[in-house]
Amino acid sequence: MSRTPLIVGNWKMYKTVAETRDFCLRLKDEMAFTKGKQVEVAVAPPFTALSAAAQALRGSFISVAAQDVFWAESGAYTGEVSAKMLTEVGCHFGIVGHSERRQYFHETDVSINKKAAALMKEGLIPILCLGETLSERQGGSTLVVVERQTRQGLKGLAVQDPQKLVMAYEPVWAIGTGQTATPNQAQEVQAFLRKLLAEIFSPNMAEGVRILYGGSVKPENIGELMAMNDVDGALVGGASLEVKSFAQIVRGSISP
């Protein structure tokens, strides 16, 4: 089964509504080269700019992702946003479990699992992020850590359609550091994740679910990463903030 490459730009806490509108309109033009090619693209602006992004991207193949979600449908949860609210503003994907949320906002595998379930219930596609810290890698526990994050993050989720789930392997030591995992490091973990998906769900799911790599992806390294069998795209932080570099990454993800 061939998997369509997926490139997602995670803008983190960058870009106002006006900047988002401008970026998205320029990105639409810049993406003309993808016509007839097998690739999917999404941007993940801050909550305040989701609606503007969806409006600016209307009529294009580029979709909108939220950077987070809360697991309850509604209630007294000051500051939170539900999956239904994300649907209403035009989201297609929702990122959950990003390492910055695990680190700064103390998110656990349990809360991440509830968030993924809330997205799925609403028909949104979770992009489940996981990855080891530097000390975990140096201590030789990378696969133990990602297995725990995967099993707990996906616990109880009944998914049969591989298009309804995206995984993102993001080694914490590679995020925003300029230090990318080598293609072989990414491949080793991502092949392992695919085997786990077969155990958790089914061989069909494992074969079809896209597993992205994230961590200092740039136009210069996307090609070698995408050459790996189990790298199906990228979750891009810093390099997704400029239209040109993001577009070059999309270009580099397309099979010749």
> What are the residues binding ligand PEP (CB under 6 A)?
10, 170, 175-176, 214-217, 235-239
Amino acid identity of residue 5, one-letter, is P
d(CA 166, CA 96): 10
List 40, 100, 132, 170, catalytic entry: 170
Query: Taking a C-beta distance cutoff of 8 angstroms, is the pair 95, 67 a contact?
Result: yes
Q: What is the DSSP string of 123-148?
A: TPEEEEEE---HHHHHTT-HHHHHHH
Q: Which residue minimizes CB distance to ligand PEP? A: 237
Shortest distance in whole angstroms from residue 239 CB to ligand PEP: 6
* 100 included as an active-site residue: no
| Residue with Cβ nearer ligand PEP (119 or 205) | 119
Of 12 and 155, which CB lies nearer to ligand PEP in the complex structure?
A: 12
The CB-of-111 to ligand PEP minimum distance in angstroms stands at: 18
Residue 129 CA to residue 70 CA, distance in Å, equals 16
Q: Is residue 125 within 8 Å of 167, Cβ to Cβ?
A: no
d(CA 93, CA 101): 17
* Residue with Cβ nearer ligand PEP (131 or 205): 131
Residue tagged active-site, from 98, 122, 132, 136 = 98
Q: Which is nearer to ligand PEP, 166 or 206 (by Cβ)?
A: 166
Q: How far is the CB of 176 from ligand PEP (least distance, A)?
A: 4
Under DSSP, the state recorded for 227 is T
- 170 assigned to active site: yes
Sign of CA dihedral 180, 185, 190, 192: negative
Least CB distance from residue 174 to ligand PEP, whole Å?
6
Residue matched to tokens 């061989």: 203
Instruction: Return the active site residues.
Output: 98, 170
